[in-house]
């Protein structure tokens, strides 16, 4: 039984890299928490601080409600599994799994029983006598997990344990891992940059970017109500369509959202319209996932956007149409992109969202200016200063549809599935619905 709490935890490495920036996170007993984020965002550093392999620069790591900053790793009752796990090549599978028990001075008899139990739970009961070199990659990873579990840790830390495996094995093992840790009731913190892994395995997901925690919630919460534009763009495939919209309020009737030459009308009885109405006369970001868009007949009456297909992508089970609707896209930089030294945070004040947003309409390479006093850059720039580039609205179609690039297409919009963000990239309708 273990709980973990991080209180304002920051890690600055000697060279000035801010790997983790004021993180607050509570992990409940028995919970499966996934830390998700692109390469270099600080996931491993968080895990290593919890394990005691790295000291926080400031802040507190609490285990079971007690300050653990000075607790040596061996006293933390933690087991860790890495991507680059190493098994002892000269030992059998059984001896590999039993090794931590042997170190702990546990008698051969119960030791053997525990090894058999763990091995059969992991589906490697029949290869206990083999050497690691005689195993497949998936089996080897199971042995590494077995070796970690066998000591019955209170807390399980896993750092991308599946990333060396092929996709079929990954899917199989991720179901097994989440099943097993839940069965054992072990609190688990699992690091990945794979959103599918996060959404399928987690009780809750914590999404990081450049050392900063962006959002924490159940998979349904972070996917359905992302707290920031970054989270909205990070989760989901195809990416959420993010469009610039001008807000105009027709009191007691509806709120007009102007997207280029077209408009959508948010009815006044939609409770979110009060939050959006606050931005009367201003621009916001409207997010719509592909599942909020349905192709309809051209004369469809209702909430609809008209466009022309710029290109099609065929994925076998579905096709995606990318529509030119005459609106302006917001592009979220660096989402999932491999980055070297990405977490080299500059000014702390700019650490939130604005800094990473770059308008597709912006002049390439030219940094946006921070608004005076605000400290965070706007994602919506002055239209006069920039070239405009149209949005490509991703719409799901049946596989190999009877339409082609250049064809017109009308799509109905599920208004209740829209997301709204302010110019700094924060969700607008917090607290509503």
Euclidean distance between CA atoms 289 and 395, whole angstroms: 8
CB of 392 to ligand ATP, least distance (A): 28
Query: 188 near 202, Cβ under 8 Å?
Result: no
Q: Is position 44 an interface residue for Mg ion (rule: CB under 5 A)?
A: yes
Residue 69: name its binding partner from Mg ion, ligand ATP, none (Cβ under 5 to 8 Å by kind). none
Residue closer to ligand ATP by CB (options 12, 171) is: 12
Query: 44 near 51, Cβ under 8 Å?
Result: no
Tokens of 383: 């239209």
Binding segment for ligand ATP among 10-18, 130-138, 177-185, 372-380 (CB under 6 A)? 10-18
Tokens of 165: 């495996």
Binding segment for Mg ion among 42-50, 162-170, 241-249, 365-373 (CB under 5 A)? 42-50
Q: Is position 10 an interface residue for ligand ATP (rule: CB under 6 A)?
A: no
Residue closer to Mg ion by CB (options 208, 415) is: 208
Euclidean distance between CA atoms 56 and 310, whole angstroms: 50
Residue closer to ligand ATP by CB (options 15, 252) is: 15
Euclidean distance between CA atoms 354 and 254, whole angstroms: 29
Residue 384: name its binding partner from Mg ion, ligand ATP, none (Cβ under 5 to 8 Å by kind). none
Q: Is position 19 an interface residue for ligand ATP (rule: CB under 6 A)?
A: yes
Q: Pick out residues in 26-85 that bind ligand ATP (CB under 6 A).
A: 37, 39-45
List the beta strands (DSSP E) in 177-219.
187-192, 204-209, 212-217
Residue closer to ligand ATP by CB (options 82, 300) is: 82
Residue closer to ligand ATP by CB (options 206, 276) is: 206
Binding segment for ligand ATP among 11-19, 141-149, 220-228, 350-358 (CB under 6 A)? 11-19
Q: Is position 204 an interface residue for ligand ATP (rule: CB under 6 A)?
A: no
List the beta strands (DSSP E) in 260-337.
262-267, 283-288, 293-296, 304-314, 319-328, 330-332
Answer for which of 1, 8, 13, 416 binds ligand ATP (CB under 6 A) is: 13
Residue 41: name its binding partner from Mg ion, ligand ATP, none (Cβ under 5 to 8 Å by kind). ligand ATP
Tokens of 9: 């935890």
Residue closer to Mg ion by CB (options 162, 393) is: 162
Backbone angles phi, psi at 72, to 5 degrees: -65, 150
Tokens of 164: 């060396």
Q: Pick out residues in 307-346 that bind ligand ATP (CB under 6 A).
A: 341, 343
Query: 283 near 423, Cβ under 8 Å?
Result: yes
User: Which uninterrupted H or E stretch holds 416?
Assistant: none
CB of 337 to ligand ATP, least distance (A): 12
List the beta strands (DSSP E) in 199-344.
204-209, 212-217, 241-250, 254-259, 262-267, 283-288, 293-296, 304-314, 319-328, 330-332
Within 10 Å of residue 219's Cβ, how many Cβ atoms? 18
5-37 in b/e form (b: 16+ CB < 10 A) is bbbebbbbeeeebbbbbbbebebeebbbbbbbb
Binding segment for Mg ion among 3-11, 41-49, 102-110, 138-146 (CB under 5 A)? 41-49
Residue closer to Mg ion by CB (options 33, 304) is: 33
Q: Which residues are CB-contacts of 392 (< 8 A; sequence separation ≥ 6)?
A: 310, 322, 323, 324, 329
Residue 341: name its binding partner from ligand ATP, Mg ion, none (Cβ under 5 to 8 Å by kind). ligand ATP
Euclidean distance between CA atoms 254 and 270, whole angstroms: 9
Residue closer to ligand ATP by CB (options 165, 380) is: 165
Residue 343: name its binding partner from Mg ion, ligand ATP, none (Cβ under 5 to 8 Å by kind). ligand ATP
Within 10 Å of residue 183's Cβ, how many Cβ atoms? 9
Residue whose CB is nearest to Mg ion in the complex, by number: 44
Residue closer to ligand ATP by CB (options 14, 317) is: 14
Within 10 Å of residue 364's Cβ, how many Cβ atoms? 6
Residue 193: name its binding partner from Mg ion, ligand ATP, none (Cβ under 5 to 8 Å by kind). ligand ATP
Residue 40: name its binding partner from Mg ion, ligand ATP, none (Cβ under 5 to 8 Å by kind). ligand ATP
Size, binding site for Mg ion by CB under 5 A: 1
Binding segment for ligand ATP among 9-17, 110-118, 177-185, 212-220 (CB under 6 A)? 9-17
Residue closer to ligand ATP by CB (options 341, 431) is: 341
Q: How many residues does the chain have?
A: 433
The residues of the shown chain that bind ligand ATP, judged by CB under 6 A, are 13, 15, 17, 19, 37, 39-45, 193, 341, 343
Binding site for Mg ion (CB under 5 A): 44
């Amino acid at each position: 039984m273990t709980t973990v709490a991080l209180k304002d935890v920051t890690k600055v490495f000697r060279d000035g890299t801010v790997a983790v920036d004021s993180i607050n996170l509570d992990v409940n007993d028995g919970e499966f928490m996934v830390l998700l984020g692109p390469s270099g965002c600080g996931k491993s550093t968080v895990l290593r601080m919890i394990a005691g392999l790295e000291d926080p620069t400031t802040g507190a790591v609490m285990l079971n409600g007690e300050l653990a900053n000075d607790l040596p790793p061996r006293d933390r009752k933690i087991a860790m599994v890495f991507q680059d796990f190493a098994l002892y090549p000269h030992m059998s599978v059984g001896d590999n799994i039993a090794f931590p028990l042997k170190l702990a001075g546990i008698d051969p008899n119960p030791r053997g029983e525990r090894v058999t139990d763990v091995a059969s739970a992991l589906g490697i009961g029949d290869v206990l006598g083999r050497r690691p070199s005689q195993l497949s990659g998936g089996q080897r990873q199971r042995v590494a997990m077995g070796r970690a579990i066998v000591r019955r840790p209170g807390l399980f830390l896993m750092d991308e344990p599946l990333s060396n495996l092929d996709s079929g094995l990954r899917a199989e093992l991720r179901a097994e891992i989440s099943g097993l840790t839940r069965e054992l009731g072990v609190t688990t913190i699992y690091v990945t940059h794979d959103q599918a892994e996060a959404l399928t395995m987690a009780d809750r997901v914590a999404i990081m970017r450049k050392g900063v925690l962006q959002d924490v919630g159940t998979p349904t919460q972070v996917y359905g109500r992302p707290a920031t534009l970054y989270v909205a763009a990070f989760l989901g495939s195809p990416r959420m369509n993010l469009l610039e919209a001008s807000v105009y309020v027709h009191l007691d009737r509806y709120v007009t959202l102007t997207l280029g030459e077209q408009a959508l009308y948010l009815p006044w009885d939609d409770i979110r319209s009060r939050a959006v109405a606050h931005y009367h006369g201003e621009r916001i970001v409207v997010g719509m996932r592909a599942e909020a868009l349905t192709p309809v007949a051209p004369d469809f009456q209702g909430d609809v956007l008209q466009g022309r297909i710029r290109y099609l992508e065929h994925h076998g089970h579905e096709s995606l149409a990318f529509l030119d609707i005459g609106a302006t896209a917001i592009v979220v930089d660096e989402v999932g992109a491999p980055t070297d030294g990405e977490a080299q945070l500059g000014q702390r004040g700019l650490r939130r969202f604005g800094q990473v947003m770059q308008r597709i309409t912006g002049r390439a390479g030219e940094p946006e200016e921070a608004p005076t006093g605000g400290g965070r850059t706007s994602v919506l720039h002055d239209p006069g200063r920039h070239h405009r580039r149209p949005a490509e609205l991703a719409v799901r179609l049946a596989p190999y549809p009877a339409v082609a690039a250049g064809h017109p297409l009308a799509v109905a919009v599920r208004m209740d599935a829209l997301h709204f963000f302010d110019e700094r990239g924060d969700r607008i309708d917090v607290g509503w619905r």
